[in-house]
Structure 1
Amino acid sequence: MKQRWMWIAWPAFLVAGGIEMLVFAMVDPQDLHWFGDGPIELSRSAIYTVAFFVFWGAAALSSALTCLLSRSPFEVNRCPLPLDGRPAACPRPPGR
């Protein structure tokens, strides 16, 4: 499970950094407005930070969806094992 989280978080982090550089190479954070209303009242570094986390979240969602859709039928259909290691549909034979 830990490895799967890294499959999601690390590429998303790298993609968010790339998107951040591309977007803010063309857009000045002080020129941004809330859907046509007044300008955003945050410092440049605050806008960079918020945008990075938004980009990271979007990229992580994309990576998580890829991990979800790449699961095999066995992974999707298996049920968690109880403490004795036997599935509920496989009862212990009598006398054991």
Structure 2
Amino acid sequence: MLAQRWMWIAWPAFLVAGLLEVLVFAFVDPQDLHWFGQDLDLSRQAMYTLAFFAFWVLAMVSSALTLLLGMSSTEVNR
């Protein structure tokens, strides 16, 4: 049951992260990004990778919260 719940969280989050990656970098060049006024000295591929994992983590948090809110009080208090 735990593995199934992880898939309910991870798989939709993976798809959303892929979609966000395409949408964001269709309009933003990774070489134009700055962090606190400093240039990011990373390659485009590194920026794509970091952004994908950041999007994936955020989407997983959202999916996990949705799953948690969908549980009954007896399931939560077990």
Q: Report the alpha carbon displacement of residue 68 of structure 1 after superposing the two structures with TM.
A: 0.9
Hey, what's the Cα distance between the residues in 1 that align with 2:36 and 2:77? Answer: 45
Q: Which position in structure 1 is the counterpart of 2:41?
A: 41
Going by fraction, where is helix more abundant, 1 or 2? Answer: 2
For the residues of structure 2 that align with 1:12 and 1:28, how far apart are their CA atoms?
A: 23
Q: Deviations over 1:25-65 (max 9, x none)?
A: 0000011111222x110110000000000000000000001
How many residue pairs get matched?
A: 77
Q: What's 2:17 paired with?
A: 16
The answer to which structure has the higher strand fraction is 2
Query: Which amino acid counterpart does residue 68 of structure 1 have in structure 2?
Result: L
Following TM superposition, where does structure 1 have runs of at least 4 consecutive aligned residues deviating by more than 3 angstroms?
A: none
Identity of aligned residues (%): 70
The alignment's TM-score, normalised by the length of structure 1, stands at 0.76
Let me know the Cα RMSD of the aligned residues.
0.9
Q: Which has the higher contact order (CA 8 A, sep 6+)?
A: 2
Structure 2 portions without partners, runs of 5+: none
Structure 2 residue matching 1:52: 3-state secondary structure: helix
- Considering only CA atoms, is the larger Rg found in Structure 1 or Structure 2? 1
Task: Report the TM-score, using the length of structure 2 for normalisation.
Answer: 0.93
